[in-house]
Structure 1
Amino acid sequence: MTSEAVPGPWTYDDYHVGWVCALPTEQTAAIAMLDQRHAGLPKPPNDNNTYTLGSVGKHSVVIACLPKGKIGNVSAATVATNMISTFPSIKFCLMVGIGGGIPPKVRLGDVVVSTPVGAFPGVVQYDLGKAHQGGTFERTGALNSPPNALLAALTMVESEHDLTGTQIPEYLKELEQKWPRLAPKYLRSESLKDQLFKANYDHISKSTADGRVVLIDDPEAEESDAEDDCRFCDTSQTVKRKPREMRVHYGLIASGNEVIKDSIFREKLNRDLGGQVLCVEMEAAGLAHNFPCITIRGICDYADSHKNKAWQAHAAAVAAAFAKELLDQVQASDVEREPTVKKVLSQIHDTVLQSDANIREVKRKMDRKEDVEILEWLTPVNYGPQQSDNSVNGKKAPASGFLAPRSSKTGSRLGRRCSVPAFLEQARQSSRIAFIYGNYRQHDEQKLDHLLKSLLKQLVQGQSSMPASLEVLYDKHNVRKTRASVEEVSATIHSISGLYSRIFIVFDALDELKETDGCRNRFLDEIFKLQAQYSAKLFTTSRFIPEIIERFEGSKTINIRAQDEDVRSFLDGKISQSAQLLQTHREMIKSEITKAVDGMFLLAQLHFQSVSTKKTLTKVKDALNSFSCGPKAYDIAYKKAMERIAGQDQDSKELATQVLSWITCARRVLKPSELQHALAVEENDVELNEENIPQVDDMVSVCSGLVTVDDKSGVIRLVHYTTQEFLDRTRDEWFPIAESEITMACVRYLSFDVFKGGFCKSRKEYEERLECNPFYGYASHNWGHHALMASMDGDQVIKDFLEGPAKLSASVQAIMVNKHPKRGHIEDISQMASAVPTAAYFGLSKMILALLEKGHPSDSRGIDGWTPLLYAARYGHEEVVKHLITRNDVELNSKDDDFGKTALSWATEEQNTAVVEVLLDKEGVDADCRDGRNDTPLLIAARKGHEAVVKLLLSKQCVDPNSTSYHDRTPLSLAAGNGNEAVVRLLLAMDTVDANRKNSYQRSTPLDYAVEGGHEAVVKLLLTKTRVTWAGRLLGSAASKGNERLLRLLVNSSAIPDREGKAQKVTVQATDKEDEYCSPSLPGQALPERTSLHWAVENGHLALVETLLQSGTAINAPRCTNRDYSVGRMQCYIEESQTAIHLAVDNGNKLMVSLLLDHGAEINDVFTCTTTSYWHLRARALAARRGKPFSRFEQVLSNMYPYPYDTYVPAKCDYRIDIVKQTAVHLAAKGGYRDVVALLLRRGAKAAVIP
């Protein structure tokens, strides 16, 4: 039977499904499965493929085969690339053909379909990776997962198989009827024997004349010989299996560039991939790298030496039949929603380009597991996506200079984002850049500590290794699961900033940073401090807000606006897509709008939206004449937009009002799917009516240009910050009952029957719930907040919800998982949620009274072990706290299970001053209680700088002002170390506060910590109350920070070193007694203190060095250091004695050398470096202790004492094995500093060898 091609007006854009085959046999089977075969289309000259066009059910299909003899991943990718270039509307590809099965699960004639398994996406390229020494092979990279439309169809196919069985036999019967010539070869016959030989039994090709057998050992042997079957193989070596029907398997396919004919290799490959492999083949990875595709393989052999062609035709037929069955289940609407392959590849290309740019930017990516953990602990916030998005937008939008269009009169910030990426690219080439993008909807993520942590994270990412200062900070807090304070983060930023020659900090949209809590000013204070000490530049964009202008008084500012031609170009594009009326009067519209908007793109967009709906020239002119200018232009434009919305048909008006009210009032930005589900909720529904879900395009279009969807960030939002401001100011006019409607939508959604099972028992179940119910997360976290705003906390619907433990537990679980993302709050949950703790969490005071009156317990714990009082105190719900502490059954000092904090500790931690006052006035509240890290409320308040709370606590006699923390720090020590000046004043005013107390941990006073933190104002306060007991340490600390003002302050306060350079010494006396030993770190000689001069010279602070020298600091005082190092198993100890001139020369700092020489530095002082082997020390110690010859113990030393850290050496022992002496000129020559060598020789340095 033949099949005639069906003529028709087919075009390249009509075909949405690609079907790729590797062999002619596979192509024949594919063509035989077509319901209709279409007439061919002319090919482009650069396309070498040959195509068969047709349809399967409702899908138009393009079939292509690899060139004869060209198999493998590369050939498959080439064919597919040409296909999508010629047929640009293809949404996905099917890779259909034959493959080798992995026994025992898979048999000949079965079908294997690639689907994701564990970490694998369905297809894994087994020969892509790195070969390591020792024969190991590391697979690298990842392949694409099949598209969602196909995975959804596979689910339906699998269900149909369970219900009615597969359609493959019917399709094979149709093949026999339509193509009888193919039946003998492609249908299963009795001649096809399914023989699986044991893995250790090789194929026998033939017998020799003398009866011997010949084994096939050539992996490239031809298979074209039809006689090459297993007639000579021993059938007793086959694996005995029960007969069964063909099956379809779903799982992992391994793809490579070689034919596998080795059972041993096959089994090893399967083991290496976790025992999950069902099939091996040679082409799928070529498509799966980038193409949206699925691979279908009919099993024709077992990838062993017995491999032959007997089953190939039948295997190709069953694979093609399954592909047809799959396409029958793929919905046309699902295909329409899938992006074209061409678009997917374009996105991948863009991503690769961006990744390449990022790789060039960073010398070494910190991808060690430990580094990633530290950076994620610091902050998960990443401004990379915004920067990438704005870089793309910046290439498309017109720009002039660093800043994009901006108006001082109206406060416009529109179009500015195209400028920031351009600036970054210029600065990135030679300096470290950190950037932050302000966002008015991300206030919780843009508090001071988050901003500083993001800045620190970006500075650290520019380093080749993790800085020690951040590792120390991480180690300090990670053990106790605490967070670094603002002061600690700021200090770490300062320490790391010194590693860069220049730093650029870019803050886009500074005006969108919340100022009600002082965040913006405090952030600028921190940055200005950084600028004072380091070469840091701040580049920011903002609307012209008086408070911001005042902070930048005297700084360079640029007011850049859009050029008229930019606005006209923008309008040209809009008009070209509009009705003929607007196109006819193009110039008039462009001129009038350009004149009215004064360089503001958003205003141009709003004005054009107003004009675009007009149907007559008169109305167009009226609209153009109605445009306003000046500071009220935006408000007028927004009001007109709202009026246009009100003038739409009822359905459009209602949808627009709902969308705008949700976006305006939501507590965070929403994803389109979240908002779709929220809008679909209706009263009395027990499940979501999916037919009630609005389309995203409709949600945007009815809002008259006020709403947009960000493709990059995946959120639906208002077009601009000024839009949010306008709707916030006028929400009572447009959305008077929005909060109550949102509350009801959240509660009704959470009351659906899908949540009646309560909390999920596993992480997988919970993740599936989130995925299937997009609005679940937002509704769970925020229903109570909206109820509070709507004054609905006494509503019966809410009460009913709170008293339904199962559905309430499902809601609370989402909160707990977010609250403790790394804890086991999935599997560990063992009790239902309670009504009162949940109401207390949200601050629903009226509801709590109603619940308590009904008999609910007032001190019950939630599923995370917190009581209602703890929740209310932490989150600042004063009225709830007042209600609860009047109850006799409420334990006032109960602690949470996570941090061991009481209600007072939590209120102090979160600076809820009103709650602290209420609790302190309540008899029975322990004002000096200790939490899990041994902190009292006063210690917490002092560390955090909560002045008002400290004042309240100090007013209580039971509060100890000298209480100590886990590290033996007092409140004064913590406040001083964190620079909390106001708190330090309060504490110093207390007569009982000891300002000179040293902690046992580091023997440091509050003054030490203040100097270490660089807090000049606090140091001034403490110097009025403090004895300076270790001046050199203070000056060294100030010098190491490069803080000249602080150093001068200490010098002027008589905190100066000995004028003769005689610092405190540690001396160990020699002894003749063999049982008395000294540590090798104190080798019987005095070790001078490391002075502030050494610190300043080593860090290159010229001004500080000059200050110290003018104060009389001894210039030639030696600095002795000691350190350990290892080479193989040899552990050594090094002592070095250097003066300031040695340090300056060792750094190659010519200016510093010259300054020191001008102030009398001894140019020929000898620098001594002494190296000692710890094993040598141990040998001498043992010899001396046991009275034995040294050589006997030296021979067996390595076996007896491999880690001799506890060595003690008689003080008289000569333990030094290597002594190096050098002068400054020797050091300069060794370092290659020619100009320093020349300077030293001119000033009288001696170049002779030192004996």
Structure 2
Amino acid sequence: MVSRDDYLVGWVCALPIEVAATKATLDCIHDNLPPNQNADDGNSYIFGSLQGHNVVLAYPSSGVYGKTSVAGAVAHLHTSFKSLRYILMVGIAGGVPDTKEDVRLGDVVVSKSIDGRPGVIQYDVNRERAEDQHTRAREVNQPTPLLLTTIGKAETATIFNESKMPQFISEIVRKEPVLFACPGPEQDVLFEPDYDHIASETEESGCNECNPDKIRPRKPRDIQDPVVHYGVIASGHRLIRHGATRDKLTHDQCVLCLDTEAAGLEDAAQYLVIRGICDYADSHSSKLWHAYAAVAAAAYAKEFLSLIPTVSKTIPLAANTPAEAAPVLDALLLTRPEVDRKSLIALKGRRVDGTCEWLIQHPRYQEWLSCVNPPVLWISGGPGKGKTMLAIYITEVLQPEVEAAGNVLLYYFCSNRNKNQNTALTIMRGIIHQWISLQPYLARYIKKSFDTVEIVKYTVSNFTLLWNAFLTLLRQTKSSQVICVLDGLDECEKGSLGQLLRAVGNYLSHPGEDARTRLKFILLSRPKPAILESSLGQYQRIKLDESDAGISDDVERYIFANVAELASEQNLSGEMVAQVQQALLAGADGTFLWVGFVANELEGRNWAQIKELLQCVPKGLGGIDDKEALVPILQWVVLAARPLTVDELTVAAGIRPSGTLTATQVTMSLLRLCGLLVKIEGGVVNLVHESAKEFFQSSQVNIRGISMFYVTQDAHRALMRTCLAHVERGYKTPGSVHEKSRQHPLLHYASQYWPVHFQHAEDVIDKQSEFCRPVLLV
């Protein structure tokens, strides 16, 4: 039977509509637990499971909305459920319009520290009259690393169009379509902040008596799904229903929404506040959007939980093992390699039958597999050689063999999709987390490094401490062999890559006399940077660029499989199939990269379009008239450390107005010329396919006619200089950080990511001349 200790996730609501939305969100509802012995606990509880987590929903029995009831509910929840790892505060709130985030009804706001401001602040209302209200803010503690990390994963999922929130919302609405239906954008009306509501005889008539000339015009959105915003939430003991007061608070604190629930929390480190926007915190507020806003908040919470690994309470080890492992797992969590592997398979597609299998027959692999020495096998190859698919295949082949022998397989995939996870620190956090998940009893040997918040911060930010923890696990494990497969080491930040390679090399050279467990590695990367060659050149190596590597046969199989699928979809004749196969074989140049790029573009096209596309790709860029204008745009799209908004890209690429067109409109028209390459979603510019990023950095573009699009280290240098120029302008501009960002749309990106471009361009930069800028000498 499920006990109270099995519930690790707390979920707090205040209003009945929030509770109803949560019940509809749960995957299943559990039977009630035996009554709590705590007689003072006045909460009502609902128990269930969601995304593999046992969740306890708590809400005040009294139904009183505000600071006292919610804070009391949280206190009783903690007392009655002592195993809770964190609590989600899920509900509705009043949104703050007229910010750069453009908050709308039905959107979701999630508490997050922005520009040094805490994610949740408290305000006090000191006077009775709304127009005289004065706010006094104080901050609430920051969430734990686990919650902050999961926020980052949710943001990344949205950027790469992998969010399941719209799906979750649809599933909830289908359960109660009348109650939870979206009112629609036509019901999203914003009045001028100084215009008060004109009351009518019935509440149902809404703002029918209000002056329509006072409605603030806003540009319709291209998408209808809720947008998730991350930023500051203000919480007080009274609801604000006054537009001018709302805007005053926003101007002072950059607040995105206002509620009354987080105000009474004494220690918010274990909480995340999630709010669906139901009104604009003005006198025109009504209940029309309450239900849908509650659904949107609950759907985000469901997605959030899907990104957090479950911690089993039934591991057949010592009774205290899960309790010891949980804080260590929470502190280490940044990414889950097993989930990353599934995501890569979904992104790249399943392996074509027959491909990759040559590797396990290769004599160097066989020697690595069967012998103690060599302990390292290095698989190197240029872009598009299928290294990641080989890494996935290796882990799938090794996993059953390793587990059957009672040994450990660890793996990690570096990716240019997320620069923040491409460091030696994140690699160590990923594989240690994976190891503790497989063998939780090991947590007891390193738990002292994760005792307090301050110690955790120090441990997870120090490579030496993490490496020592890894070696401790190696000494204490009951397994006789540990295998690590690390893919994409060339994507790893250069300085920390050196740390990792030195640590591995030093250990393998002097493992110690008491080393009972063998440690072996398979490392996959491009041949460069040079540190890889100097560190790994002594070990066994398979070069994918050599003719005997088996890649050419794999590419041919890959082409035939893609063309067969295309022929089935488009009913192509045998002659048509032969033409497509011949064109792809001629252009492949021994890599999967170009084939995958073109095959994706052939989908859904008729035969005439297929023939035209095969003739113009990859040299199709040569037919563009305004090549020079496209170069800076594509450089930024390909090399930016994160996807840029259209406004950011316009400023970064130095686009100017032309005739009657604004600079942003000029950028949009240029982006349309790249129809095969880029997409714009929610105002964010992305490459259509990840393979295009590698394509523009490969030698396949360095050919006559389109060589100006070949992205090199020099391009990173140019981007770094642009970033520093914007940092200088922002430094010289008076005002707060928020005000500077309004005047310089690229300032946030430039301030955070210019070092990324510097690292990539380090070999072609004269550091002395580059860094004589005044802003860098302050």
**TM-score, L = length of structure 2:** 0.48
The structure, 1 or 2, with the larger RCO (C-alpha pairs under 8 Å, 6+ apart) is: 2
**TM-score, L = length of structure 1:** 0.33
